[in-house]
Chains A and B, each alone.
Chain A
């Protein structure tokens, strides 16, 4: 009797039910898998309210009304002349086109990377140093500006990844309002 039994009979664990379970789980997980990660950028319409009737306090710092105009030649930063031009803004002749505050690198603006994002972030850092409580920025893109560029400008204005604080990258102006601009 003993000789008939195989000496090394393997007692395999029956894995078939687990296999069944796993095979059914995998299609479901593949369906729910996310291979691209999505995020959203908040923005609101410009709010129109009654103008302030109180006379501005001459001793107070004038409020920051930062706006970034994205054009085909570069980015024009306005509303923060006090910071950017401490000695007074360079004068322009009447009717002359205002050159962009941050012109494109190499003078051409063909792709998104041609814009000088590092310079823009540096300028916005300066403005943020002067107005630490302000979080708003108005974006005024030109008609022909591509959406990708608008998003990139919002990214540059939101935070500075190079300057770390305890709570992550330094926040610049996260509340973006996109203004229509005149047609």
Chain B
């Protein structure tokens, strides 16, 4: 009994966390280095692979139009499904096209309606908040386009955005280091 009392029961129960602290501190430094506050986010998927570019301009907030291999998404909301048809010039290969039924001339009906609504909402917001120049409509649109998208689809999308008064395109790309 006397020996048991002399032993301190708590002192050996301490876990040595020094090495873990070292590790955490190093991780912390690396994470702080890659910390970013950009408000543009890309959800990478098999359907959306952005091209690489040497451009260096930082992205800014705007309406987000994503052209994936199978659909067009505006601000997170799917707007239109794209079709895949046989390529006439290269037999055996598939080509992505906008469905004929959705096209009116070069404009894509559904996309036009959604973008026009966005433009009008932004204008209304700008009229109410006259003090904040960041709000309001500036005609900017962020385009995240899959790198294999044929220009034909891109042109229809750009034309439609232009009809909905978005004239300043910002193509989102991965930066090459």
Q: Which residues of A contact B (CB under 8 A)?
A: 4, 12, 15-16, 18-19, 22-23, 25-26, 29-30, 32-45, 141-148, 150-152, 154-155, 158-159, 161, 178, 180-181, 183
Is B147 a contact of A41 with CB atoms below 8 Å?
no
Is A180 a contact of B159 with CB atoms below 8 Å?
yes
Q: Which residues of B contact A (CB under 8 A)?
A: 6, 14, 17-18, 20-21, 24-25, 27-28, 31-32, 34-38, 40, 42, 44, 51-60, 87, 89, 95, 106, 142, 145-152, 154-155, 158-159, 162, 167-175, 177
With A and B bound together, what is the CA distance between A152 and B87 in angstroms? Answer: 23
Cross-interface CB contact of B150 among A4, A143, A181, cutoff 8 Å: A143
For B44, B147, B150, B171, the residue with the greatest tally of chain A CB atoms inside 10 Å of its CB is B171
Cross-interface CB contact of A41 among B28, B35, B149, B171, cutoff 8 Å: B171
Chain A to chain B contacts (Cβ below 8 Å), 6 pairs: A12-B14, A15-B21, A32-B35, A38-B172, A38-B175, A143-B151
Q: Which residue of B lies closest to A32 (CB)?
A: B35
A-B interface, 3 closest residue pairs, ranked by CB to CB distance from nearest: A34-B36, A29-B31, A148-B147
With A and B bound together, what is the CA distance between A25 and B30 in angstroms? Answer: 12
Q: Which residue of A lies closest to B87 (CB)?
A: A144
